[in-house]
Structure 1
C-alpha cells in the first residue's frame, strides 16, 4: 500500500509539474504574424480593397486569405478569439465601444480609408429647402446616429447639446428650429426609404449599394480630406508591431492602392493616410 501510494504520488507530482510547465509556456507563447494573414472584411468596398491588397502582398511574399462578413460584430469577435489575424471594416469609435463593452484585446495598426457620410434627398437640391415639420432620417445605431446628427448640425439644420458623446440620439438636440421629425432607421434600410423623407444621412457603403455617390448625388457630405471617421486596420494587441503588419501598412498606403481607390470609387471612398 505504501509503495503504491508513493509511486502514485510521484506520478501525480510529475504530471502537475509537466502541466505547470506547459501552462507557463502557453501564457508566454505569442503567435507572430508572418507570411500568412487571415483578414476579415465586410462585403463591398472593403472586400474590393482587400482583394487589391492581396495582389500587392504577393510581391512581399505575404499570402492574404480573405474572409467576408455581413455584420459589424462578428469580425471583432473572430479576431479576438484567434479565428482571424486582422480585420479592416470599422471606425475608431466603433472599435473603442466594442473594446469597452466586450473586453477585446485589440489594437489599431494603421488607418486605411474613409467613407464620408452624405445627406441625400429624392426631391431637395439643398438643405436650405427644408420646411417646418419635414421628416429627415438618420441611422439608429449609436455611433452612426451621432455622426448623422453631427452632419446635419454642420449643415446648419439643427444643433446638438454641448458635451454630448458618440451615443447621442435625437433626444440630445439643443435646437431644432424647423421642428423637423427625425426618423431613426436601420442604416441599411435608409436608401429604400428615401422617398418617404425629405432628406436622409446615409452611410457610404449603403449609398453605393443603392447606386448613389458622394460627388454626384449627395446634397451635403462630410469632408473627403482629413475625414474625422477613418476606418482602421485592426490586429490583436500582441501583433501590433509584427513585421508582417508593417509590410501590410506599406501596401495599404502605397501609390498603387491610392490609384486603385481613386479609380474604383469616384470619391465615395477616400484614402485616410
Structure 2
C-alpha cells in the first residue's frame, strides 16, 4: 500500500510540473503576442494620415494610439513628461527653439512632410496689392511669425534687418514702405480674423482645418523647393533616451512608406508635401 501511494504521489507531482510548464509556455506566448502600445500626439487634420499608419504598424505588433491636442505647446510638454510616447505636429525650427526654452530632452527621429505657409485674403488678388496702412494678421508664435515675415520679404513687401535668420519678429523689420500694420494672433484664431484684415498669414495645418487649400486659395505661397524651407520640415519626435526604441522605429518606417507618400499626395494635393 505504501509503495502504491508513493507511485501515485510521483505521478501526481509529474503531472503538476508538466501542467506548470505548459501554463508558463502559454503565458510567454501570450505575452509575446501582446501589442506594444505607442501613444502619439498630433494636432489638426493629421488623423487622416495617422489612421493609415496605425493600420500598417498593427501588423508589426504595435498598437498606435493617436492623441489630439488643440495647441502647439502641450504636445511637447506631454512628450517630455511621459504622457505620450511620440508626437508629430511641428517642424525642426519650432522643436529646436521650444526644447531650448523649456530645457526638454526630446529629439527628432524621422521627417514627415513640409507644409507650405501661405497668405490669404478675402479682398486681394496679390499681397502686392495691399494699400498703405493695410493690416496683415500674423501668427504670434516665434517660428511661424519669423517664417511669415521672411515670406513677405521674399516678394519685397518688407525688408528685414541683416542676419535675423529664421526667427525674426516685427521688431526686426528694417523697411516697411507701405506702413503695414501687423496684427499678431494665435495661429488657430487667424482664419476667423480674415474679415477684419486685408490679408492673413496662415500655416498649412490651420488652413486645412479651416477648409482652405494653400495651393488653390492663397494669394502667396511658400516655395517648398527652396533650401530656406528646410528648417520647416515636419518631424516625428521622441524623448532622447527613447530615440532607438524599436517600436518607435516601426512607426517611422510605416510613415515613411511609398503608400503613405502616395496617400499624402492624393489627399492634400500640394498642401502637404512628403519629404521622405
TM (norm. structure 1) is 0.82
SS at match of 1:188: helix
Report the counterpart of residue 65 of structure 1 in structure 2. 65
Q: Is the 8 A contact 2:87 2:238 kept in 1?
A: yes
Per-residue CA deviations over 1:121-176 (Å, capped at 9, x if unaligned) read 11111223222222222111211111111111112211111122444221210111
Quote how far apart the aligned CAs of 1:198 are: 1.7
Q: Is the 8 A contact 1:155 1:220 kept in 2?
A: no
Report the counterpart of residue 263 of structure 2 in structure 1. 260
Once residues 83 and 191 of structure 1 are traced to their aligned partners in structure 2, the CA distance between those partners, rounded to angstroms, is 30
Q: Is the 8 A contact 1:116 1:268 kept in 2?
A: yes
Structure 2 gaps, min length 5:
1-34
Q: Is the 8 A contact 1:224 1:267 kept in 2?
A: no
SS at match of 2:88: strand
Report the counterpart of residue 168 of structure 1 in structure 2. 168
TM (norm. structure 2) is 0.81
Is 1:241 paired with 2:215?
Answer: no
Once residues 145 and 251 of structure 1 are traced to their aligned partners in structure 2, the CA distance between those partners, rounded to angstroms, is 32
Per-residue CA deviations over 1:27-85 (Å, capped at 9, x if unaligned) read xxxxxxx833111111322x222111101112222221111111222221221122211
SS at match of 2:123: coil
Q: How many residues align?
A: 239
Report the counterpart of residue 219 of structure 1 in structure 2. 219
User: RMSD of the TM alignment (CA)?
Assistant: 1.7
Poorly superposed stretches of 4+, deviation over 3 Å = 224-227
Once residues 256 and 118 of structure 2 are traced to their aligned partners in structure 1, the CA distance between those partners, rounded to angstroms, is 25
Structure 1 gaps, min length 5:
1-33
Once residues 169 and 247 of structure 2 are traced to their aligned partners in structure 1, the CA distance between those partners, rounded to angstroms, is 40
**Greater gyration radius:** 2
Report the counterpart of residue 39 of structure 1 in structure 2. 40
